[in-house]
Amino acid sequence: MIFRHRPLVRLGAAALLAAGAFTAFGAPAHAAGTETDLALDVVGTKVADGVNGKVAFARVTNKGENTPSELAVRVDVSKLDWSKVVVDPGPACEPEGQATPPAFLCHAPKDELPGPGETFELPLILLKPDGPLAAPYSVPVGFEIVSKDDTNKENNTKSVNVEFTKESGADLYVTADDVKNAVKVKNGDEIEFAGDLHAGDTAALIYDVWNQGDLATAGFKVTVKLPEGVTFTETEDDCEYAAGKGSLVCTYPELPFVPWSQVGGGDDGVPGGVFCHLLSVGADVKAGALTGGTVSVEPILPAKGVEITSFKIKNKPANMTLLKKADLDGDLDPSDNTDGFAVIVAADGGAGGGLPVTGAKAGLIGGIGVAVLAVGGALFLIARRRRVVLVTPADEKSTD
């Protein structure tokens, strides 16, 4: 599917980030009386040998019943050897120090404070500025939620090892937007955002899949589980649906995902893509956050001895093997192969129009990838096989 606004946002973000002018994280809000429970997770912290870097994520999920008035994530990099690698949550985070700060403090902007069931994602840039390392390097990095409204401190901290390995492999990751908007399908192939999502409405699940490793995949498989009360609106080729259409498995054996650093031109593979499924919200669903939705991906690897140049987008699946979960030579970093999402159903009387609410991940991921990881190559965006253009009510005219 083609998502006209999202690639443009990504490329624009990349240009701004490269110029040092990208300000994705604003100052915190200062309201009171919104106590809730915020939980922290960190994914994607293992880097393949043959790439200059990747993007990891600190994810803050709201498990409570209220929206916090403020949220920040403190990233402790005090043990980092800056002469070897860089671990940086982005130019808009506040460093605690000068050239080699021991920590960063990153505020969530007011319009991205996670409501009940929602997730705020902080991108974390992992970079080898001087190219491949002579030996593996691992460093502990600490993360902490900072919010006066959080009443449960037991799930507010996490320490992970950021690993710059000497291993090679495919490294898929997926990020899924929380579903907050109703959509309308126009002209058979245009999806228009239509304001708040209510019971009985149609919505769109949007997610990204990218290869941040140093080896290509032959294709990939995606598994989507929807929250209770939500079903898939339509059936699509390459996908198998469970009874009741509350989950699916899609297999794309002829869709090679090439590492960002190895992307060329033509049809010799692309690094990733943006995907969409139309959803139906049950007419009897109560307003609130429907949680438990997940999107998981796993690579389909080339057969042994088959070179990357053998894989075209329309190649037959004869030279491919389906990755088994127990195969350690499959995905280099499986920690970022699954992302959760919530479906947010508004009460009656909500807004009737406006722009989509997609969160930080919708605008940052590809942009950071372009600006940072393009040290080793260029980013080439893929559109999904079925042509669907996402537009807002103010921008409905096709530009083809």
Evaluate if pTM is beyond 0.95.
no
Task: Give the closest residue to 53 by CA, choosing from 208, 256, 259, 209.
Answer: 259
Predicted confidence at residue 11, as pLDDT, reads: 27
Instruction: Tell me what pLDDT residue 263 has.
Output: 66
Burial 240-257 (b: 16+ CB within 10 A, else e): ebeeebbbbebbbbbbbb
Sheet order of strands, 157-164 included: 46-47, 157-164, 137-146, 72-76, 103-107, 94-95
Q: For position 339, what pLDDT does the model report?
A: 85
What is the structure's pLDDT at 7?
28
Task: Quote the pLDDT of residue 254.
Answer: 77
Q: Which residues of the chain have pLDDT under 50?
A: 1-33, 267, 310, 313-328, 350-400
Q: What is the pLDDT of residue 153?
A: 92
Determine the length of the chain: 400
- How confident is the model at residue 26, as a pLDDT? 36
Ramachandran quadrant class, 178 (left: phi over 0; alpha: psi -120 to 50; beta: rest): beta
Measured in degrees and rounded to the nearest 5, phi and psi for residue 44 equal: 75, 40
The whole-number pLDDT of residue 318 equals: 27
pLDDT of residue 226: 97
Report pLDDT for 331. 72
CA 326 to chain centre: 24
